[in-house]
Structure 1
Amino acid sequence: MEQFVAAVQEVQAEKHRDVSVVDEKAVQNDSTSPSTSASIKTTAAELRKEWIQFVTLCLCLFLAGWNDGTTGPLLPRIQEFYNLGYTAVSTLFLLQCIGFIIGACAALYLNDKIGFGKSLVLGASCQIIAYIAQSTAPPFPVLVTFSALNGFGLAIQDAQSTGYVAVMRHYPDRKMGALHAVYVSPLVATQFAKLPHRWSFHYMISCALAVCAAIATACVFRFKRQEELLDYGNRRDDGDETEEVDGKNKYRQIFSMRVLHYLAFFMLLYVGIELTMGGWIVTFMLRERNGGSSSGYVASGLYGGLMLGRVVLLPLNEKIGEQRAIFVYAAIAAALDIVVWRIRDLVGDAVAASIMGLFLGPMYPIVMNQAATFIPRHLLTGSIGWIAGVGQVGSAAFPFITGALASRFDILVLPPLILAMIGVMVVLWLLAVLESRKKRV
């Protein structure tokens, strides 16, 4: 009996110990729950902050698309207002090209010297000054001079915005597609182009958008450097590069990469195709397809296709692979360009141009996403800034070349020139892919 009582007491003591352990664990869990909650809140705050930054950068790219997409519809009216030929009016693109070149070269320097936030505000401020001057319909030399200042500001904003989104922590590939999807052509430019003496009032709207961009970037990024904005509590993601390099060494590493130059020249041609088509397709439809005053909507259809392609084709990009997608989309775009060239039908050509934009659209974000795999992470921001900046040079250089050729051979040179550019672009992409695979081996 004594042994039985002792056994019962031992069992009760064991249960008491188990309950004590459970209670102790519950206390420990309760004590750790506040920190867990704080961690969740911190992550939510980071996501919210990143989305606010992303939407602000989308405003910068929308302004870039607004600027580039409105040149085409306004071009015939500018020619008529100033009584200019193709070559003379193409100096708008030439001076903007010079501004883009300076801005592309300055983007890397400004990012290191004054930082990301200040660079964005500087770019928007240059655009504000340029649009104010252009809204007065000044003498043509003054108009094109301020196009250079506008190009300088646009190149800085485009390079900084693209480089920043590429290194965001959450879904940078999808955000890159959405960022460049807002690069669209507005329909409003066509309405202003129909007004003989008030076409320049369009620049007032552009100025208002630039003011909004300057205020938004100043408030959201607060003139801070990119390292401060992206470094949440000095935390690093797994696999991030921690190597620190001085300025000279960084530039030397960036420009010694062969794949960087392939991507930069690819982007030069790609953006050149976008802006050459967008800038001259209206004139092409007016002169060669007997289009009326609504021909400006063809340019809007092209840019609408670009916007949709960067969003709608995202699942297809993932399914067939982004590297392969470039080759497929380039082949389709080339075929549609031949349709515009050889089929003399206004509606058919307008539809072909829009679908062409649909398949050209995803190329820009795909290249920027792939650059993140081709280029070391600690060199990525500067490299993407350079690629985007050089790409913007094409937006001014090739429309000017097209105008010069059109003065001598007529605007019919547009489709074959675009076809040749697509061919060279495909070769450059092939070289970039082969170079990246060679380094992995």
Structure 2
Amino acid sequence: MATSATSVHDVAQTRSIELREIHPASPNLDSSASKPDAVSETVIDTPAESRQKRNKGRLHYATLCWFMFLAGWNDGTAGPLIPRMQTVYHANYTIVSLIFVCACFGFLSGAFANIVLTPKLGFGKLMILGSLCQVTAYSLQAPGLPFPVFVIAYMINGVGLAFQDAQANGYVACYKRNPETKMALFHAVYGAGALCSPLVATRFAYIPHWSFHYLTSLGLALLNTVFLFLVFKLRTQDECLAEIGESAGESGSSQHSALRQVLTLRNVHLLALFILVYVGVEFTLGGWIVTYVIEMRGGGETAGYISSGFFGGLTVGRLALLWVNKLVGERRVLFFYALLAIGLEVIVWRVPSLVGNGVAVSLVGVLLGPMYPIVMNHSSRILPPWLLTGCIGWIAGFGQAGTALFPFITGAMASSVGISSLQPLLVAMMSFMIILWAIVPGEKPKLQ
């Protein structure tokens, strides 16, 4: 039988309890434990220390959630403003879609640079750098400058979002306590931002100073910069995780650079391609549904609120369906959501009802909502922990590129065959998502 002796040393000067345990019968004991001067020590936090770490952890999480709100706000802005941009800049669908092309270039550049810069700058500095990129972009967009400057601002904003999205998702993916719930809530906040933005953008779209909507975005971005600096203080991810009592990431033994290791992982590219198509579906639907409803269903000035309904559904789905994800299993349930979403999208395509289309689009948002956090959780299961932030950065960067690539394709098709091409394109993309998810492995390969 094991015996234990506990001694408490000078309570006024020490904050830990030293536990000395002797296990003479344990076969797993190290041989040094039998020596009289070998002592096994475990430092246990006092209740005050544990409470302080929990509070700091909540503060870290809330700060990252504010960024996610801003990311959702940014992505929900374009839909209601596209018709106004076409009028102001005398641009057809293809020309106005250049905002997505520049954003795509910015996202991919930021995703690539993130892998290289993470070991050099670290979590805190890259988050601040990304936020400052957003401040710069919104400062250029708010005055309603000429179209070339306007689209370049989208590229700068894309770089900033790529940095922050990679670092924030990588940070939350490192949580060991309730990771699925925290990731789902984290991305639900994104949906909340995307829900609120069209409500505001729709109002600005019909006033003379329409570009002043970006002053609102600028204010949110400035707050984001201040919060990130005060909370994380330019520290590395491991330093911030240690402050809240979370363990640091594992270390790999490869002699190759992090960039090479990430880019040679097959699973990274499968997940990145899935996220590219998924986010493309999400942003294409949220960005072009307003134009579709106005032209194909006779919607008026309030059509912009349908975009809010979609992103509102996205938010609800990430929270309300969390229990379904756990009950069915995250990998299996994604197939079910995708099939139902395709059915609803066919209804939007074939049923000429303004109200019916609005309800169906909102329900599609509910079903698409859980998919992104499911993929982020699955990434932490099948990818090497020591490369997780870089991998998630690459995956998220591809996802952000999806917000640009597929909306641009939609705009180009709309210019040639009409906006009616939106629904068959979305059905095809959702079907491709199912194929890609079937290829993604369900568990970590044994060689990793």
Give the TM-score normalised by structure 1.
0.88
One-letter amino acid of the counterpart of residue 136, structure 2: I
Map of 2:16 onto structure 1: 35
What's the offset of the Cα at 1:51?
A: 1.3
- Asked if residue 205 in structure 1 is aligned to residue 216 in structure 2, the reply is yes
Contact 2:116 2:258 in 1 (8 A): no
- Asked if residue 71 in structure 1 is aligned to residue 82 in structure 2, the reply is no
Map of 2:202 onto structure 1: 190
What's the offset of the Cα at 1:413?
A: 0.9
What's the offset of the Cα at 1:44?
A: 2.2
What's the offset of the Cα at 1:228?
A: 1.5
Task: Specify the SS of the correspondent of 2:16.
Answer: helix
Counterpart among 215, 226, 230 of residue 215 in structure 1: 226
Map of 2:25 onto structure 1: none
Which protein has the larger Cα radius of gyration, Structure 1 or Structure 2?
1
- Asked if residue 241 in structure 1 is aligned to residue 250 in structure 2, the reply is yes
Counterpart among 258, 273, 291 of residue 265 in structure 1: 273
Alpha-carbon separation, structure 1, partners of 2:365 and 2:54: 32
- Asked if residue 113 in structure 1 is aligned to residue 120 in structure 2, the reply is yes
Contact 1:181 1:310 in 2 (8 A): yes
Count of aligned pairs between the two proteins: 412
**Seq. identity, %:** 45
Task: Specify the SS of the correspondent of 2:234.
Answer: coil
Aligned pairs (5 A) from 1:258-337: 258-337=266-345
What's the offset of the Cα at 1:275?
A: 0.7
- Asked if residue 62 in structure 1 is aligned to residue 73 in structure 2, the reply is no
Map of 1:158 onto structure 2: 165
Map of 1:142 onto structure 2: 149
Q: Which range moves more in the overlay, 166-175 or 120-129?
A: 166-175
Aligned pairs (5 A) from 1:360-371: 360-371=368-379
Task: Specify the SS of the correspondent of 1:84.
Answer: coil
Contact 2:325 2:333 in 1 (8 A): yes
One-letter amino acid of the counterpart of residue 102, structure 1: S
Relative to 1, partners in 2 of residues 1:27 and 1:212: Cα closer, same or farther, differing over 3 Å? closer
One-letter amino acid of the counterpart of residue 241, structure 1: E
Q: Which range moves more in the overlay, 169-178 or 273-282?
A: 169-178
Alpha-carbon separation, structure 2, partners of 1:385 and 1:357: 24
Map of 1:9 onto structure 2: none
Map of 2:406 onto structure 1: 398
CA deviation digits over 1:216-261, x for unaligned, max 9?
Answer: 0011110011122123599848xx7344555x34333322221111
One-letter amino acid of the counterpart of residue 265, structure 2: M
Counterpart among 410, 431, 437 of residue 439 in structure 2: 431
Task: Specify the SS of the correspondent of 2:441.
Answer: helix
- Asked if residue 229 in structure 1 is aligned to residue 240 in structure 2, the reply is yes
Alpha-carbon separation, structure 2, partners of 1:115 and 1:28: 39
Q: Structure 1 stretches of 5 or more lacking a match?
A: 1-24
Relative to 1, partners in 2 of residues 1:343 and 1:235: Cα closer, same or farther, differing over 3 Å? closer
Map of 2:37 onto structure 1: none
Counterpart among 110, 131, 135 of residue 138 in structure 2: 131
Counterpart among 52, 69, 91 of residue 45 in structure 1: 52
Alpha-carbon separation, structure 1, partners of 2:345 and 2:401: 22
What's the offset of the Cα at 1:437?
A: 6.5
Contact 1:107 1:389 in 2 (8 A): no
Task: Specify the SS of the correspondent of 2:326.
Answer: helix
Relative to 1, partners in 2 of residues 1:437 and 1:98: Cα closer, same or farther, differing over 3 Å? closer
Alpha-carbon separation, structure 2, partners of 1:210 and 1:235: 28
Contact 1:111 1:119 in 2 (8 A): yes
One-letter amino acid of the counterpart of residue 263, structure 2: F
Relative to 1, partners in 2 of residues 1:250 and 1:152: Cα closer, same or farther, differing over 3 Å? closer
- Asked if residue 343 in structure 1 is aligned to residue 343 in structure 2, the reply is no
Give the TM-score normalised by structure 2.
0.87
Alpha-carbon separation, structure 1, partners of 2:345 and 2:61: 34
CA deviation digits over 1:301-325, x for unaligned, max 9?
Answer: 0000001111111111000000011
What's the offset of the Cα at 1:181?
A: 0.7
Q: Which range moves more in the overlay, 329-338 or 254-263?
A: 254-263
Task: Specify the SS of the correspondent of 1:73.
Answer: helix
Contact 1:74 1:189 in 2 (8 A): yes
Q: Which range moves more in the overlay, 162-171 or 304-313?
A: 162-171
Alpha-carbon separation, structure 2, partners of 1:233 and 1:268: 33
Task: Specify the SS of the correspondent of 1:182.
Answer: helix
Aligned-CA RMSD value: 2.3
Alpha-carbon separation, structure 1, partners of 2:236 and 2:95: 41
One-letter amino acid of the counterpart of residue 257, structure 1: L
Task: Specify the SS of the correspondent of 1:287.
Answer: helix
